[in-house]
Amino acid sequence: MSNLEQTIERMFAARRLTRNDQQQLMAMFSQRDLSPNDAALINRVYEALSQGRLRVVD
């Protein structure tokens, strides 16, 4: 399991992500060399945020 996968699993288990987590995901998403799997994982997080299944905390 990659570091990204572990981070995202932790976020979903806690049902929240920190501002630091959010910044890291945004930085990764802006990279052009993301694998399709990594891009799908990041999109999963943003979909959960927009649906209210995850929330951002400080």
State the Cα–Cα distance between residues 28 and 3, nearest whole angstrom: 12
Cβ distance 41 to 8 under 8 Å?
yes
CA 51, CA 6: separation in Å to the nearest integer? 21
Spans of all domains in the chain: 3-57
pLDDT for res 9:
94
* pLDDT tens-digit map of 2-58: 888 888 999 999 999 998 888 888 887 787 788 899 889 988 998 999 999 999 998
Q: What is the pLDDT of residue 35?
A: 87
- Say how far apart CA 5 and CA 16 lie, in whole Å: 15
Q: What is the pLDDT of residue 58?
A: 83
